[in-house]
Copies of this chain bind each other. A is one copy, B any other.
Amino acid sequence: MSAHSEARGTLYLVPTPLDFGVTQAAPAAPSEWLPAETLDTARRLTHWITENAKSTRAFLKRVDALATLAAPVQAHQIVELPRAAHKKGDHAPQAGSDAQARELLAPALLGHDMGLVSEAGMPAIADPGSSIVRAAHAIGLRVVPLTGPISLMLALAASGLNGQSFAFVGYVPQEATERTKRLRELEAQALKTGQTQILIETPYRNAALLQALLQALHPHTRLAVCAALTLPRQVCRSALVQEWKRSPKAVAEDLPLDAPCVFLLGR
């Protein structure tokens, strides 16, 4: 195939269900959360760039169970993002990372459509992948994002907090003094400008973050926690900090803080 842009493949951003890593008696079919355009595209693609090849093969098997893939999973080319991209993110252009991203996109230059995928949710949002998308634009590929569940936005809509101005700030520091300082900075920003602040944490630290939020924030600040989004035990709770404090028992008992959570604060 020629290198002419007409012959190049498209980079699709393929979202996956949010139940990754969740032990379930009977996992729901991915069609519960992924619409036809997303499933049809996933079925057709054979070249993937992913955060984790194993989880991508598992995803493809679930899609295959709904309707047969164009090619068997074993025949797919599935390459992983460089390790460095996993924890710290791959956005900052380190020495060589842009060149590496272009190498991973080589099949698209030969005319193959490709899929970018993460373990759960939308690639390149609160997850690695943006270095690949940037490289795709640089070499003139068409980039097409597909619809699927995005935990940050499900949580924002369900929070009752301001959805006309918001920021996702990622993780806060683990060390107690620094964490309190950062939470108060975010609260000051939210109260001053009305911009909802959205944060996440590793599940085993969710309970500690919730306690830190209740201690650090003003009684009249609104705090929302959405846990286990899209899953059967999903809970979204939103109340003023003083109201959260009035029922600490309910907080501890009803919120599945061992599941992935999104925390939101604002006015």
Residues of A within 8 A of B (CB): 13, 29, 31-37, 89, 91-92, 122-127, 129-131, 133-137, 143-145, 147-150, 152-170, 194-195, 222, 226, 229-230, 234, 236-239
Contacts and interface: CB of A to CB of B under 8 A. Distances in A.
Contact of A37 (B13, B33, B166, B170): B33
Number of identical monomers bound together in the oligomeric complex: 2
Given A124-B156, A127-B163, A147-B148, 8 more contacts: A33-B35, A34-B35, A91-B163, A134-B160, A137-B239, A143-B236, A147-B149, A167-B168
A6 B15 CA distance: 34
A107 to B, nearest CB: 19
19 contacts: A31-B36, A33-B37, A33-B147, A91-B161, A91-B162, A91-B163, A91-B164, A91-B194, A122-B153, A123-B157, A125-B156, A130-B162, A143-B236, A145-B226, A147-B147, A147-B148, A165-B169, A165-B170, A167-B167
